[in-house]
């Protein structure tokens, strides 16, 4: 349940405003997360978010949540939301780079950052205000309503990988972007498969290591097939919406309902971020208790990451323009970097575990600048 003190006044006002729309006594809609139900992006981002939506709308909005790949597989999420198979879905843009080049150009910076709390708000702010990014969502029939951001991806391996020598020749699951380039640079082999295939790949030996957030040691039982974890930060992912609405569905609901969804998502995004970070930290402790070896990378291996980060920044404008077709690489990339720096400042004086405080900040700085009567309406 959401904090009553924070939302009671808001919920009352929204319900009063919504009384004029008796034709919308209850709007049922399909919400899909391709992660399993216990994964933070499903449990906190969809299951708990759906409860918040119902509470803030007084039951007027009723999401029917599907998790896992029962309805939509990861690579089908964009098309599924665009075709209204799901009215709202999480969409990882790395799976559809040709359809979402702008989002993927921004994700090229993922290797350079390691603060998921800053990243989630920066990604949402940028994705709902940058005109080039907004046009890309519109072109794909999607209304972006909120972000996700993973904790830093680290290495889960079947054998110890702590040094540059250890990593050479290893087949490592990556999710595209610059981490794949870094893997190649250190002499390993990137394998781009969905995160849902990590366990079987490690179990069967088609993967030697996988990169993902630490929570997957427990949430996806990777501790069983990857007894060696190295806390080497290999970037974060935030590209694509955690909540991407079908544009037609979004246009058909009322302005009041759009506002309710914005408020629910401000809370859901804040709650998900705090809980996802905490869960990843807890998973490392639990995996160690189960007998996993949790190690730090050698200085030489860490230095390779830091050197690659500098290389990324030197090439990023050219990559955005030549690889992804962005018309003005510096303008796009610098807008995201400016937004990220802005959120570093905004969060510097906030209790990072206070979900209500983070919600209010998101409502003020992101959603409060948008008009629910016109946002996402073309």
Nearest 5°: the CA angle 215, 216, 218 is: 80
Q: Which residues of the chain have pLDDT under 50?
A: 1-2, 4-24
Cα gap 189→144, rounded to integer Å:
34
CATH 3.40.1210.10 fits 4-148+238-274+330-369, yes or no: no
Q: What is the pLDDT of residue 187?
A: 97
Q: In b/e form, how buried is each residue of 230-242, taking b as 16+ CB within 10 angstroms?
A: bebbbbbbbbbbb
In which residue ranges of the chain is CATH 3.40.190.170 found? Answer: 4-148+238-274+330-369, 154-236+284-313
CATH 3.40.190.170 fits 154-236+284-313, yes or no: yes
Nearest 5°: the CA angle 27, 32, 34 is: 175
Q: What is the pLDDT of residue 192?
A: 87
Query: Tokens for 64?
Result: 């029917």
Q: What is the pLDDT of residue 249?
A: 98
Cα gap 51→55, rounded to integer Å:
6
pLDDT tens-place string over residues 104-134: 999 999 999 989 999 999 999 999 999 999 9
Using alpha carbons, list the distances in angstroms from residue 352 to 3, 6, 271, 349: 16, 17, 11, 9
Q: What is the pLDDT of residue 15?
A: 36
Task: Specify burial of residue 70 (Cβ count, 10 A radius: 0-12, 13-18, 19+).
Answer: exposed
The overall average pLDDT reported for the chain is 92
| Helix intervals (H) in the chain | 4-18, 40-42, 48-57, 77-82, 101-107, 116-127, 131-139, 164-167, 177-185, 198-204, 216-219, 247-252, 255-289, 299-322, 329-347, 355-365
Cα gap 88→46, rounded to integer Å:
10
pLDDT tens-place string over residues 277-334: 999 999 999 999 999 999 999 999 999 999 999 999 999 999 999 999 999 999 999 9
Using an 8 Å Cβ cutoff, are 269 and 2 in contact? Answer: no
């Amino acid at each position: 349940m959401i904090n009553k003190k924070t939302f009671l006044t808001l919920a009352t006002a929204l319900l009063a405003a919504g009384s004029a729309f008796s034709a919308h006594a209850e709007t049922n809609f399909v919400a899909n997360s391709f992660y399993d139900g216990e994964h933070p992006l499903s449990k906190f981002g969809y299951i708990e978010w759906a409860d918040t939506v119902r509470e803030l709308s007084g039951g007027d909005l009723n999401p029917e949540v599907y998790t896992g790949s029962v309805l939509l597989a990861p690579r089908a999420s964009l098309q599924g939301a665009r075709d209204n198979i799901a009215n709202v879905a999480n969409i990882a843009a790395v799976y559809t780079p040709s359809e979402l080049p702008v989002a993927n150009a921004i994700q090229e910076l993922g290797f350079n950052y390691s603060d998921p709390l800053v990243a989630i708000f920066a990604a949402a702010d940028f994705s709902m205000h940058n005109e080039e990014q907004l046009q890309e969502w519109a072109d794909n029939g999607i209304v972006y309503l909120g972000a996700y951001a993973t904790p830093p991806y680290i290495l889960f391996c079947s054998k110890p990988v702590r040094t540059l020598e250890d990593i050479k020749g290893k087949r490592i699951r990556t999710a595209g972007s610059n981490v794949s380039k870094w893997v190649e640079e250190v002499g390993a082999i990137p394998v781009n498969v969905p995160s849902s295939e990590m366990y079987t790949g490690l179990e069967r030996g088609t993967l030697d290591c996988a990169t993902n957030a630490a929570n997957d040691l427990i949430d996806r039982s990777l501790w069983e097939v990857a007894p060696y974890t190295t806390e080497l930060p290999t970037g974060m992912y935030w590209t694509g919406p955690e909540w991407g609405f079908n544009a037609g569905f979004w246009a058909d609901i009322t302005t009041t309902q759009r506002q309710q969804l914005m408020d629910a998502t401000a809370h859901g995004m804040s709650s998900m971020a705090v809980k996802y970070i905490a869960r990843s930290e807890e998973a490392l402790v639990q995996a160690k208790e189960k007998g996993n070896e949790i190690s730090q990378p050698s200085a030489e291996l860490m230095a390779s990451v830091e050197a690659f980060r500098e290389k990324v920044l030197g090439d990023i404008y050219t990559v955005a323009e030549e690889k992804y077709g962005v018309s003005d690489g510096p303008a796009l990339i610098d807008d995201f970097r400016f937004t990220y720096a802005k959120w570093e400042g905004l969060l510097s004086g906030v209790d990072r575990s206070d979900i209500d405080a983070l919600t209010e900040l998101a409502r003020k700085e992101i959603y409060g600048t948008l008009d629910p009567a016109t946002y996402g309406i073309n």
